[in-house]
Amino acid sequence: MINVIGLGYIGLPTALMLASHGVEVVGTDYNRKLVDTLNEGRTTFKEEGLEELFREAREAGIRFTTEYRRTDTYIVSVPTPYDKFSKKVDAGYVVAAVKDVLKVCPKGATIIIESTISPGTVDKYIRPEIEAMGFRTGEDIHLVHAPERIIPGNMVYELLHNNRTIGADSREIGEKVKECYASFCRGEIVVTDIRTAEMTKVVENTFRAVNIAFANELARICRHDDMNVYEIIRICNMHPRVNILQPGPGVGGHCISVDPWFLVGDYPQLAKVIDESMKTNDSQPTFVLNRIYEIMQKEGITDNRKVGLYGLTYKENVDDYRESPTLQLLEAQERHLARPLKVYDPFIARDITANQYHDFDEFLEGIDLVVIMVKHDHIKRNWEKLKGKIILDCFNICPLEGTYHI
Ligand code: SAJ
């Protein structure tokens, strides 16, 4: 039996995937409400294919509880926030989960950490805690780091098909854990040491963050001299060794906008390119805000109430709004003491910010300038409704003539 600890964006799909592939699974989360919701047969977030996977896992007998179970294998998938000032990872939730596991697990159990952690976290924060509780790692307790790599919006597919990394203290344990993931994973599974696994995960997200920062910087250079950044990137990417990502309104989510800071926090004198890239991405919402003011001035719009932001989530077709560029933009706007702009997102049913609308038509009523902050499929089906409005498109997706770009 596997006890999956933490039933959030990663833990839940992983638990469901294992259960629907014949593994006995108990999912544990300290959040009673979340556990009740799952036991009532409802999922806790929207994701392509998740409902069906949930049904299959329930039919296969998955259980959800707030308690830790005694078993030989645990997967820990709890959040790892970072401290905004020191830029260092906060491994507090992972350490707490591991300590709770140790209260119930038998000797010889394997604890697999899936949460993203900065390189060295296992040795600096987790191993010492285990040893302080009287266990010897590598003998009484086997530690493994198996970072997840799935992308929100395509999680179920990627869980099945992505290659995986398993970092373990010994080859034998690594191979054992590999077998467990191989119950559903059709990708290649590489076994390595823990430190390498920690580093590869953070490096992958850092690579993407730096590439996006480069695209955002190009957008600013092109805006400065009125060049078409999209056309330039498109042509550059026709070169066989060039692959530039796309500029956008900023970088959100709990991965690309967070993980690279771990390296800056730990190596401030060395991680210069990464530091600058993160600053570029973080200032992109303010760049968009300035572009909004510029367009308002050009079009003679003097009232904030005439401007609406479309999209609140951190990216398209998901309901996750952590670190979202729209929220970052609103925060920057608030610093100017301005009246908050109108906001609408088809994926967000509850109120999370001021001046938020829940009906698309009501949102559009009375606004002159629509800013496309997220490229949900929903907006691509609704260009008709935007006819006659001034549009600032942060992604170059709008087919309407006269559209402004960042
Ligand atoms: N973005 C751009 N331009 C682009 C691509 C993305 O501005 O060309 C923005 C998005 O709009 C979004 C942010 O970047 O605000 C991040 O989105 P994303 O789709 O690039 O990535 P995440 O954060 O959803 O998921 C990433 C993935 N990492 C990599 O692709 C290397 C995923 O595979 C990881 O599992 C995930 O982080 C994670 O949990 O670490």
The full 3-state SS of 23-68, as one line of letters, equals CCEEEECCCHHHHHHHHCCCCCCCCCCHHHHHHHHHHCCCEEECCC
Nearest CA, atom 37, ligand 1: 255
State whether 146 and 212 are in the same domain.
no
Whether residues 314 and 340 fall in one domain: yes
Same-domain status, 170 and 132: yes
Contact 149, 170 (CB under 8 A): no
In a domain? residue 199: no
Query: Are 187 and 212 found together in one domain?
Result: no
> Do 176 and 238 share a structural domain?
no
| Probe target for ligand 1 pocket from 164, 201, 255, with the most ligand atoms within 8 Å of CB | 255
Residues 175 and 254 in one domain: no
Query: Which amino acid is residue 242, in one-letter code?
Result: V
Domain boundary among 192, 225, 245: 192
Q: Quote the ligand 1 centre to 120 CA distance (angstroms).
A: 23
- Inside any domain, residue 198: no
CB 403 within 8 A of CB 302: no
pLDDT at res. 337: 66
User: How many domains are there within the chain?
Assistant: 2
Known catalytic residues are 201, 255
Q: Which atom of ligand 1 is nearest to the CA of 116?
A: 40
Ligand 1 binding site (Cβ under 6 Å of any ligand atom) = 116, 148-152, 204-205, 208, 212, 245-246, 248, 251-253, 255-256, 314-315
Give the CATH number of the domain where residue 250 resides: 3.40.50.720
What pLDDT is stored for residue 261 in this prediction?
A: 93
Verify that 10 and 123 share a domain, yes or no: yes
Ranking 45-49, 137-141, 297-301 by mean pLDDT, the lowest is 45-49
CB 171 within 8 A of CB 191: yes
Angle between helix axes 194-224 and 272-299 (nearest 10 degrees) is 30
Q: Name the closest-CA residue to atom 38, ligand 1.
A: 255
pLDDT band at residue 87 using 50, 70 and 90 as cut-offs: confident
Mean pLDDT to the nearest integer, 327-334: 93
**219 and 329 fall within a common domain:** yes
Please report the atom of ligand 1 found closest to the CA of residue 249: 7
Positive or negative, the CA dihedral 118, 80, 3, 165 is negative
Specify whether 218 is located in the same domain as 313. yes
Domain ends where: 192, 217, 233? 192
Answer yes or no: do 81 and 45 share one domain: yes
Q: Tell whether 244 and 271 lie within a shared domain.
A: yes
CA 397 to chain centre: 23
pLDDT in tens, 118-138: 999 999 999 999 999 999 999
Q: Whose CA is nearest to atom 9 of ligand 1?
A: 251
Atom of ligand 1 nearest to the CA of 316: 11
Strand partners, 390: 369
Kindly give the number of the ligand 1 atom that is closest to the alpha carbon of 212.
Answer: 3
Distance CA 166, CA 1 (A): 19
pLDDT in tens, 220-279: 999 999 999 999 999 999 999 999 999 999 999 989 999 999 999 999 999 999 999 999
Q: Domain containing 155: what range?
A: 2-192
Q: For atom 35 of ligand 1, which residue has the closest CA? A: 149
Judgement on whether residues 90 and 183 belong to the same structural domain of the protein = yes
* Residue 74 domain flag: yes
CA 255 to centroid of ligand 1, rounded, Å: 7
